[in-house]
Amino acid sequence: MSLLVIWCSPNQEGLTAKCKSALVSGILEYGMECSEVHLNRLNIGRCQVCSTGFGQCAQKGTCVLEDDFNRLYALMQQCDALALVTPVYWHDMAEPLKALLDRVRRCDCKVNHALSGKKAMIVACAGGSGNGAVRCLGLMEDTLKHMGMDVRERIPVTRFSSSYMPKAIQSAAWHLCYELNEKPQ
Ligand SMILES: Cc1cc2nc3c(=O)[nH]c(=O)nc-3n(C[C@H](O)[C@H](O)[C@H](O)COP(=O)(O)O)c2cc1C
């Protein structure tokens, strides 16, 4: 069993990074294998909206762009569950994650259906007013559900809750591992 943690933020030591580290701690505390992907280090371009709206993604389940997308989409398919952690930008997920999910959705929900049924947890870190954290989670969840993914936990973090939420994230990650590994279905 393995959990893939995908996160983005330009700040290696900001609120998002802190929440991501708490999530990884929960996975390792349980004893499950964990891989981390920092999207800001990868080259994942935006969907080119080929043809009249649907291109190769809708026919073959692959993307015409040759960047880091294919490798990461393969990792997403191979893992047993997925955790996504993003800063809240404009009440939405940050652009690197949006670019990834836009392209994954096109390939997955039309052809591959490889992520359907996969469990996920999502975390949105709002360091400003805190406005938009819940909306951001809603938008992320809509995209994952479009692919048939099973969103088990959605966690908003604001600068007002930033002192105690990392502990909750660690616990939530531990429980997701428990659910994957031991809980009777
Ligand atoms: C472009 C941009 C848009 C933002 N929009 C919001 C927002 O809608 N609501 C909010 O509470 N904070 C907003 N913020 C603040 C970020 O959510 C906050 O800085 C967050 O902690 C970033 O995570 P980091 O610590 O990993 O950088 C925004 C920040 C940026 C740079």
Is 37 within a domain? yes
Assess whether pLDDT exceeds 70 at residue 24: yes
Distance 124 CA to ligand 1 centre (A): 10
The pLDDT score that the predictor gives to residue 185 is 58
Is 102 within a domain? no
The pLDDT score that the predictor gives to residue 160 is 96
Mean per-residue pLDDT of the chain: 97
Distance 141 CA to ligand 1 centre (A): 19
The pLDDT tens digits of the residues spanning 8-20 come to 999 999 999 999 9
Is 57 within a domain? no
Is 69 within a domain? no
Is 156 within a domain? yes
Closest-CA residue, ligand 1 atom 9, reads 131
The count of domains in the chain is: 1
* 29-58 average pLDDT score: 97
Confidence of residue 184 (pLDDT cuts 50, 70, 90): low
Confidence of residue 50 (pLDDT cuts 50, 70, 90): very high
The pLDDT score that the predictor gives to residue 124 is 98
CATH number at residue 147: 3.40.50.360
> Is residue 132 lining ligand 1, measured as CB closer than 6 Å?
yes
The pLDDT tens digits of the residues spanning 93-147 come to 999 999 999 999 999 999 999 999 999 999 999 999 999 999 999 999 999 999 9
> Which residue range forms the structural domain that includes residue 87?
2-44+79-97+115-181
SS3 per residue for the chain: CEEEEEECCCCCCCHHHHHHHHHHHHHHHHCCEEEEEEHHHCCCCCCCCCCCCCCHHHHHCCCCCCCCHHHHHHHHHHCCEEEEEEEEECCEECHHHHHHHHHHHHHHHHHHCCCCCCEEEEEEEECCCCCCHHHHHHHHHHHHHHCCCEEEEEEEEECCCCCCHHHHHHHHHHHHHHHHHCCCC
Which atom number of ligand 1 is nearest to the Cα of residue 129? 11
Is 120 within a domain? yes
Is 163 within a domain? yes
Is 127 within a domain? yes
Distance 101 CA to ligand 1 centre (A): 19
* 35-58 average pLDDT score: 97
> Residue 84 has which token pair?
């996504």
